[in-house]
Amino acid sequence: MPQANMTPAFIGIDWGSTHRRATLLGADGAPASARSDSEGALACAGRFRASLEALLGDWPEAGGASTVVMAGMVGSAAGWQPVPYLEADTPLSALAHHLVRIGDAPSGRRCFIVPGYCLHDEQGAVDVMRGEETQLFGALHHLGPEAADGCYVLPGTHSKWVRLRQGRIVELRTYMTGELFALLSQHGTLASAMRGPGTAAGMSDGVDADRHFLRGVDDAAARPALSHSLFGARARVVTGGLAPANAAAYVSGLLIGAEWADAQRLASRDEPVRLIGEPALARLHALCAAHHGRHFESLDARQVQLAAWRALASESPTS
Amino acid sequence: MPQANMTPAFIGIDWGSTHRRATLLGADGAPASARSDSEGALACAGRFRASLEALLGDWPEAGGASTVVMAGMVGSAAGWQPVPYLEADTPLSALAHHLVRIGDAPSGRRCFIVPGYCLHDEQGAVDVMRGEETQLFGALHHLGPEAADGCYVLPGTHSKWVRLRQGRIVELRTYMTGELFALLSQHGTLASAMRGPGTAAGMSDGVDADRHFLRGVDDAAARPALSHSLFGARARVVTGGLAPANAAAYVSGLLIGAEWADAQRLASRDEPVRLIGEPALARLHALCAAHHGRHFESLDARQVQLAAWRALASESPTS
């Protein structure tokens, strides 16, 4: 008696710099189980195959999944196998046709890497993504090809602002928001300015933290030179105008506010900025959007990623 | 037979976060000797008096210097004794009247701290300096009160752009240029992008390094969102448009260029931007000035500091 729903068929892995999240889809495309660990690309240097074998070997339900598709930093120069970026004129809808097969896959598995994208603008600037193209491909399937046109923000270590038009990535601007926040929180003079009771308030949902966050958003708009506005956080602390406990929320507002001040023009006034990301970051971006009088729509990042794996499972090469 | 020139009379100490430089002036105001060490304010927490006693005890010529004047982070909340900032309407020429005497000075010495300045602008922003006010006070004496009016940049960890008018600090903008460069060079994704042969080229005087530095200056002007332009350095490296060996020079150009794009309006077109700082940084700022078609004048930082100590030696309280 065939049990189609019980036949594991496909594994999608979001394999970033510091984390890895693997999703097993049944033959019907429904998620059967998932695994997360901190075997990111940085930790796996030189042993990607062994790390994947260990993941699969410890995952009985994954035994029958012959196809593994991986997205993210696993395809970078520091990853398993360097996969060239696609140029922006390659439609996202064709992503499955550009998967790159891994030469040294574990026995019995067909392993592919999703290529990232690079965009050159008219002024000669270049920007890149790896991993986010798979989320955008998921959004395309989740929302439908026509409804998916528009402006997206994918916040995180490197926050991406993207404009999709007719299934193509036509604009891309990356901001080092999360990385700068981490650097400034851990090292240097702002870290000591932030040190104080309740420092974690920067990402809290307290009314007071939100007020300081939005002051940062305003100041980022008024003072576009970030290296100046960041020093202003220190100046406010040492002159008593800002309590150390609120400094992290304020700095977070300066950094995320700098994105909005620069990037919101990617969206026209009457269309929403769509966010794909963690709820805590979605909440801060929703505050920014309301503050700037912009429409905002938060998509469920897990659903979007799942839509991507489901589409790749049905579209990826079968031989 | 009196030997006026041989009577040590005054010690000025530039006591910053990480370094300390002490200058001994003879009774005639000429520098007699100097000492530098890494006993900065961070290293001396809780033992400033002992650290000063150790410095003086090991410096025979300094034995007769009864007056010690200290500038910089020694007067911060993390310093020897917190000294409130002066408001901007206090003329620099009156600086000697605002020295704050230390209560627990070493026996036989009268020790003073020079107060820093804070400026509030019309938009409610605040900026601060500690140490640079003494250099500006020195410039006032070095150039003469009328000639000293104008626009100054004092580059470093926290780069200060200042406008002096009639001996008052009327504008102040601080940029975290040096601190951000250090953070980005040591940690995170740009540090790995910069890793490669000749990385130190960022501060070298090679023609190629200058070319990459100036590309950064241009890109900073074209893309004012620093968290975006910095990611662009990484994007250029991973797409092969920028060799890792040149990334430090390019990032240095982005950071110093961001200052110039934002702050050069402090100077009118026909007046020079004056720099007080290290020769290596002066050279990079001179490149920026020429690139932007601005007049530029580099002052000798040692001479300016000496002019400050000399004036403070003659103007500081004698009882």
**Dihedral of alpha carbons B138, B139, B142, B148, sign:** negative
Of A78, A183, A261, the CB nearest to B187: A183
Of A175, A227, A255, the CB nearest to B176: A227
CB distance from A238 to chain B under 8 Å?
A: yes
pLDDT in tens, A226-243: 999 999 999 999 999 999
Burial label for B49, CB within 10 Å (0-12, 13-18, 19+), is: middle
Query: What is residue B1's predicted lDDT score, i.e. its pLDDT?
Result: 40
B85·A239 Cβ contact <8 A: yes
pLDDT in tens, A133-163: 999 999 999 999 999 999 999 999 999 999 9
B187·A184 Cβ contact <8 A: no
Domain with CATH 3.30.420.310 in chain A: 131-308
B180·A227 Cβ contact <8 A: yes
A235·B126 Cβ contact <8 A: yes
CB distance from B218 to chain A under 8 Å?
A: no
**Gap between the Cα atoms of A319 and A25, Å rounded:** 19
Q: Which two tokens stand for residue B206?
A: 């090679």
**Who contacts B128 (Cβ-Cβ below 8 Å, separation ≥6)?**
A234, A235, A238, A239, B85, B116, B117, B118, B119, B172, B174
Query: What is residue A315's predicted lDDT score, i.e. its pLDDT?
Result: 85
CA distance to partner chain A, nearest, from residue B44 (Å): 16
Is the distance from CB of A200 to CB of A211 less than 8 angstroms? no
Query: What is residue A196's predicted lDDT score, i.e. its pLDDT?
Result: 54
Is the distance from CB of A158 to CB of A174 less than 8 angstroms? yes
CA distance to partner chain A, nearest, from residue B262 (Å): 6
User: What single string gives the DSSP state of each residue in chain B?
Assistant: ---GGG-EEEEEEEE-SS-EEEEEEETTS-EEEEEEES--TTTTTT-HHHHHHHHHHT-GGGGG--EEEEESGGGSTTSSS--PPEETTS-GGGGGGG-EE-TTPPTT-EEEE---EEEE-TTS-EEEESSHHHHHHHHHHHH-TTTT-EEEEE-SSSEEEEEEETTEEEEEEEE-HHHHHHHHHHSHHHHHHH-STTGGGGGS--HHHHHHHHHHHHHHHH---HHHHHHHHHHHHHTTSS-HHHHHHHHHHHHHHHHHHHHGGGS-TTSPEEEEE-HHHHHHHHHHHHHTT--EEEEEHHHHHHHHHHHHHHHS---
Share of chain A above pLDDT 90, in %: 79
- Of residues A149, A224, A286, A194, the one with CA closest to residue B125: A224
The fold of B144-304 is Nucleotidyltransferase; domain 5 (3.30.420)
In chain B, which residues have their Cβ closer than 8 Å to the Cβ of A259?
225, 227
Alpha helices in chain A (DSSP H): 48-57, 132-143, 177-186, 188-194, 207-222, 226-238, 244-263, 279-291, 301-315
**Who contacts B240 (Cβ-Cβ below 8 Å, separation ≥6)?**
none
Burial label for B238, CB within 10 Å (0-12, 13-18, 19+), is: buried
Q: What is the pTM of this model?
A: 0.92
Query: What is residue A46's predicted lDDT score, i.e. its pLDDT?
Result: 92
CB distance from A158 to chain B under 8 Å?
A: yes
Of B128, B184, B227, the CB nearest to A239: B128
Is the distance from CB of A75 to CB of A115 less than 8 angstroms? yes
In chain A, which residues have their Cβ closer than 8 Å to the Cβ of B231?
127, 158, 174-176
Of A77, A182, A183, the CB nearest to B238: A77
**Gap between the Cα atoms of A310 and A305, Å rounded:** 9
Query: What is residue B232's predicted lDDT score, i.e. its pLDDT?
Result: 97
Axis-axis angle for helices A244-263, A207-222 (nearest 10)? 50
Give the residue from A228, A254, A262, A265 with the most B CB atoms within 10 Å of its CB, the best one to mutate. A228
CB distance from A262 to chain B under 8 Å?
A: yes
Query: What is residue A67's predicted lDDT score, i.e. its pLDDT?
Result: 94
CB distance from B188 to chain A under 8 Å?
A: yes
Number of other residues whose CB lies within 10 A of the CB of residue B20: 25
CB distance from A132 to chain B under 8 Å?
A: no
B231·A175 Cβ contact <8 A: yes
Interface confidence (ipTM) of the complex:
0.92
**Gap between the Cα atoms of B161 and B170, Å rounded:** 11
Domain with CATH 3.30.420.300 in chain A: 1-119
Query: What is residue A164's predicted lDDT score, i.e. its pLDDT?
Result: 96
In chain A, which residues have their Cβ closer than 8 Å to the Cβ of B226?
225-227, 258
B127·A231 Cβ contact <8 A: yes
Beta bridge partners of B24: B11, B33
**Gap between the Cα atoms of A63 and A8, Å rounded:** 8
Structurally, at CATH architecture level, domain A1-119 sits in 2-Layer Sandwich (3.30)
B231·A180 Cβ contact <8 A: no
**Cα separations in angstroms, B282 against A266, B154, B261, B285, B290:** 38, 9, 17, 5, 12
B262·A225 Cβ contact <8 A: yes
Q: Which two tokens stand for residue A160?
A: 């991406």
What residue of A is the nearest CA neighbor of B238? Answer: A77
Query: What is residue B193's predicted lDDT score, i.e. its pLDDT?
Result: 85
Helix, strand or coil, per DSSP, at residue A38: coil
CB distance from B132 to chain A under 8 Å?
A: no
Q: Which two tokens stand for residue B42?
A: 């961070």
Of B126, B128, B228, the CB nearest to A175: B228
Please name the helix (run of DSSP H) or strand (run of DSSP E) that holds residue A168, with its range, or none: strand A168-175
CB distance from A236 to chain B under 8 Å?
A: yes
Q: Is the pLDDT of residue A306 over 50?
A: yes
Is the distance from CB of A95 to CB of A312 less than 8 angstroms? yes
> Tens of pLDDT along chain B (319 residues)?
444 444 458 999 999 988 999 999 988 888 889 999 999 998 999 999 999 999 999 999 898 888 999 999 999 998 999 999 999 999 999 999 999 999 999 999 999 999 999 999 888 899 999 999 999 999 999 999 999 999 999 999 999 999 999 999 999 999 999 999 999 999 988 998 887 544 443 444 477 999 999 999 999 999 999 999 999 999 999 999 999 999 999 999 999 999 999 998 888 888 999 999 999 999 999 999 999 999 999 999 999 999 999 999 988 776 5
Give the residue from A231, A259, A264 with the most B CB atoms within 10 Å of its CB, the best one to mutate. A231
Query: What is residue A6's predicted lDDT score, i.e. its pLDDT?
Result: 45
**CATH superfamily placement of domain A131-308:** 2-keto-3-deoxy-galactonokinase, C-terminal domain (3.30.420.310)
In chain A, which residues have their Cβ closer than 8 Å to the Cβ of B222?
123, 125
**Cα separations in angstroms, A20 against A36, A136, A166, B46:** 6, 18, 31, 46
Q: Is the pLDDT of residue A317 over 50?
A: yes
In chain B, which residues have their Cβ closer than 8 Å to the Cβ of A180?
227, 230
Of B128, B182, B189, the CB nearest to A235: B128
Label each residue of B155-205 as H, E or C.
CCCCEEEEEEECCEEEEEEEECHHHHHHHHHHCHHHHHHHCCCCHHHHHCC
Number of other residues whose CB lies within 10 A of the CB of residue B132: 24
Of A128, A192, A262, the CB nearest to B239: A128
CA distance to partner chain B, nearest, from residue A141 (Å): 28
| B-proximal residues of A, 1-60, CB under 8 Å | none
CA distance to partner chain A, nearest, from residue B138 (Å): 24
**Who contacts A31 (Cβ-Cβ below 8 Å, separation ≥6)?**
A23, A24, A25, A306
- H helix count then E strand count, chain A: 9, 14
**Who contacts A81 (Cβ-Cβ below 8 Å, separation ≥6)?**
A75, A100, A102, A103, A113
Domain with CATH 3.30.420.300 in chain B: 4-130
Of B228, B238, B255, the CB nearest to A227: B255
CATH of domain B4-130: 3.30.420.300
Is the distance from CB of B233 to CB of B271 less than 8 angstroms? no
pLDDT in tens, A264-295: 888 888 899 999 999 999 999 999 999 999 99
Domain with CATH 3.30.420.310 in chain B: 144-304
| Mean pLDDT value of segment A108-125 | 94
Query: What is residue B8's predicted lDDT score, i.e. its pLDDT?
Result: 56
A226·B226 Cβ contact <8 A: yes
**Gap between the Cα atoms of A180 and B3, Å rounded:** 58
Of A189, A219, A226, the CB nearest to B179: A189
